[in-house]
Structure 1
Amino acid sequence: MTALDTADPGFIDDPYPTLAALRAEAPVVWHDGWGMFLATTHAAVTDTLKSRDFGRIWSDFEPEDQMAQVNSLHRNQLMENEPPAHTRLRRLVAGAFGRGHVERMRPRVTALAEELIDSFEGGDIIAQYAEPLPVFVIADLLGVPRTDHADLRRWSQAIVHLYEPGTTQATKTAAAQAADEFSAYVRDVVAFREQHPGDDLITGLIAERAEGDRLSEDELVATVVLLLNAGHEASVNAFGNGLVAALQHPDQWRRLVRAETDIAVAAEEWLRFDAPLQLFERTAVADTQVAGVPIAQGQKIACLMGSANRDETVFGESANRFDLGRDPNPHVGFGLGRHFCVGAPLARVELQASIATVVRRFPALRLEATTRRPTWVLRGYEAVEVFSA
């Protein structure tokens, strides 16, 4: 199998040649180091994510005494469960992220983007614009103070680093502390909302019933933490990855400035070209197969999302080209099947608003410097320095 060292700086900088080599080998390959299969093609990834023979089966981190809260946050939220628990938990939050409700939020999201860009005079657009926007949006939706956004971001990043291959003890220790602090924070917010209900999602979750089954406190805390994490991590990375790609391709940036391509269409290419989530893991719940490869019950398969999004059999000879007019664009950035991202409509509104606002305010934007996050599964930039010529 083609060597896959996800900690190699060269791979983190540009994983796509390696992913292309894996696709050329086979739709499904075995990775000895991870002890699991890898789905490399668009078809193999799609089949895996849509198949009822695979599920999200959570395995607790060890040691339990240190990782107890990390494990509780995962085993009690919808992303790490299958039906019937997944169905019940998803139903509770789905209404808040429905397309109609989210579209009614669009003016508010756009106004927030304009408010943030008003104070931007150049420098790191991630810290000053891309990070606050989705955090503020999800904080407002949940009823959490915007002023706490730095803590929310810090806790979130510490926890999601657990999803990278080769988790170290230092990563576990940082995630455990973040999970403890994050959970205590959410419990305080829940306690406040129980006494002082508001027009927010946490108040709604407290009062919600699903088939007569009230959310337990652990489920409520885990759901809120998941929404705060997932509600901004991918959005920040999608904006940063797409902005860098657009500025590195001046012809495509000009298409935005001249309104030669629809913003909604362009946003889908931002999600496809340099995927903010590179890997989704599944476990076989029955003996099955993908692309003719037998996979036994209990074996794991990692869907390489960035590889699927560059598959030449789907995206043609232009698969490795950044094309803001690409339509249709069947990328798999939000997943597929029952675990399709519940927040996808909101993420799209945020991305479209953030792109449109930056292009309108800074049509002559130039890229000065970038700093990549030292991770691959959650692919993004720690900093993107820009200036307006």
Structure 2
Amino acid sequence: MPDNLADPTFHANPHPSYASWRREGPIRQVRLASGAVVWLITRYDEARRALADPRISKTGGDDRHPSNAVEQALSRHMLAADPPDHTRLRRLVSAAFTARRIEALRPRISDIAEDLLDRFPGTPFDLIDAYAFPLPIQVICELLGIPADDRDAFRAWSDIIVGGVAYQDQFPGAAAAMVGYIQGLLAARRAEPGEDLLSGLIGVRDSGDSLTEDELISMVFLLLLAGHETTVNLIGNGAYLLLSRPERWERLCAEPALIPTAVEEFLRYESPVETATYRITTEEVEIGGCTLPARSPVLIGLLSANHDGDRFDDADDVALDRAHNPHLAFGHGIHYCLGAPLARLEAQIAFTALTRRYPGLRLAVDESELVWRPGLLLRGLFTLPVTPG
């Protein structure tokens, strides 16, 4: 009988289950909340190989036939594609999403962080709502050239879109609203181009090639969703790891030079993306002693792999000064996260400002009262109540 990942106790703390499964083997069948049975890879070596194995595909080698126009508009991004489509899409997007453009954001991200910190109340408040969410959503909105006033709408739509079966009845409406909004943005930017990333994506060309309308909508959707959801969780999860053990918080406040390695440890220990997106085998594949038939659905457990004791010394300890940390939080292979430099930059700036300005920050509730969001894709808290101290 496959293990049931719909169990609420699993989402509250998946680490004991992952540890038990890693001891038993690198891959096993599990049942999702939807009822579907999939193969879940739990160990580091097998996960890293699977992430780079072209036989474990995003499409299964089939042409996709979306059931409606909204689904088609949201499924034409590089995260859902295999080569050669993936190669083409990533090349085109990379031309606009340059390291120089990201590094140029550093002063503005610092200004946003400082402005948010200025608004902290003197009484207990939710750190996610006041800091972890508005920082990355404002950054991605400014990067794309989108009005920040619309961020609450993005939050409502994205919560539904990534919320899995718990929000399945609301998904069509949220997806349609997101597509309609993006179409309006693209029309406005075509009429008045600017220096923003959205204008860059519209105008990008490579050897006469360009993004189609559906590819543009899908790419903006991906950048909006991935550009804030994962970083919200990175900042929120990192703050939780620090504040749940005050000695960690105090050390980082006293040793700010540790912040870059601490951010990598947050990525490893409470990976913002718990499992890589759905894949399917295109042919028979052997993984960890198991033979998976063609057309087998596969999930790659990034969070579990990042706790593999065969790869990481003291894997279940949070080491703020971990010198060598080859975690898989951003994936591996051709689908390695294009936004990783931006996420790292935002998190480093966020914790640098937070530890400097609020060294007395503390949890405002017992750790047992914190609630983790359901679902297997993203790992994050609903709220993180704190007191400024």
Shared fold per TM-score greater than 0.5: yes
Cα drift, residue 373 of structure 1? 2.1
Matched to 1:24, the amino acid is R
Q: Corresponding residue for 1:184?
A: 180
Q: Is the 8 A contact 2:96 2:204 kept in 1?
A: no
Spell out the pairing of 1:183-202 with structure 2 (5 A cutoff).
183-202=179-198
Q: Corresponding residue for 1:305?
A: 302
Q: Is residue 2:235 matched to residue 1:232?
A: no
User: 3-state SS of the aligned residue for 1:202?
Assistant: helix
Cα drift, residue 277 of structure 1? 1.1
Counterpart-to-counterpart distance in 2, 1:60 and 1:15: 35
Q: Corresponding residue for 1:294?
A: 291
Cα drift, residue 64 of structure 1? 3.4
User: 3-state SS of the aligned residue for 2:325?
Assistant: coil
Ranges in structure 1 where 5+ consecutive residues have no aligned partner: none
Counterpart-to-counterpart distance in 1, 2:94 and 2:65: 32
Cα drift, residue 53 of structure 1? 1.8
Spell out the pairing of 1:35-74 with structure 2 (5 A cutoff).
35-57=37-59, 64=67, 68-69=69-70, 71-74=71-74
User: 3-state SS of the aligned residue for 1:187?
Assistant: helix
Q: 1:73 to 1:279 in 2, by over 3 A?
A: farther
Counterpart-to-counterpart distance in 2, 1:88 and 1:351: 30
Q: Corresponding residue for 2:24?
A: 25
User: 3-state SS of the aligned residue for 1:199?
Assistant: coil
Cα drift, residue 260 of structure 1? 6.1
Q: Corresponding residue for 2:349?
A: 353
Cα drift, residue 274 of structure 1? 1.1
* TM-score, with structure 1 as normaliser: 0.92
Q: 1:212 to 1:287 in 2, by over 3 A?
A: farther
Q: 1:201 to 1:250 in 2, by over 3 A?
A: same
Counterpart-to-counterpart distance in 2, 1:231 and 1:377: 15
Matched to 1:30, the amino acid is Q
Which is further off, 26-35 or 172-181? 26-35
User: 3-state SS of the aligned residue for 1:231?
Assistant: helix
Matched to 2:331, the amino acid is G
Q: Corresponding residue for 2:75?
A: 75
Counterpart-to-counterpart distance in 1, 2:179 and 2:250: 45
Q: Corresponding residue for 2:335?
A: 339
Counterpart-to-counterpart distance in 2, 1:74 and 1:292: 36
Cα drift, residue 241 of structure 1? 1.2
Q: Corresponding residue for 1:140?
A: 142
How many residue pairs get matched? 378
Counterpart-to-counterpart distance in 1, 2:376 and 2:215: 29
Matched to 1:119, the amino acid is R
User: 3-state SS of the aligned residue for 2:387?
Assistant: strand
**Identity, % of aligned positions:** 37
Ranges in structure 2 where 5+ consecutive residues have no aligned partner: none
Cα drift, residue 320 of structure 1? 0.8
Q: Is the 8 A contact 1:312 1:319 kept in 2?
A: yes
What are the Cα deviations for residues 346-373 of structure 1, in whole angstroms up to 9, with x where unaligned?
A: 0100111111111111101100133332
* TM-score, with structure 2 as normaliser: 0.92
Cα drift, residue 267 of structure 1? 0.4
Cα drift, residue 85 of structure 1? 1.2
Cα drift, residue 327 of structure 1? 1.5
Counterpart-to-counterpart distance in 2, 1:133 and 1:92: 27
Q: Is the 8 A contact 1:252 1:323 kept in 2?
A: no
Q: Corresponding residue for 1:12?
A: 11
Which is further off, 257-266 or 56-65? 56-65
Counterpart-to-counterpart distance in 2, 1:376 and 1:219: 26
Root-mean-square deviation (CA, aligned residues, Å) is 2.1
Q: Corresponding residue for 1:98?
A: 98
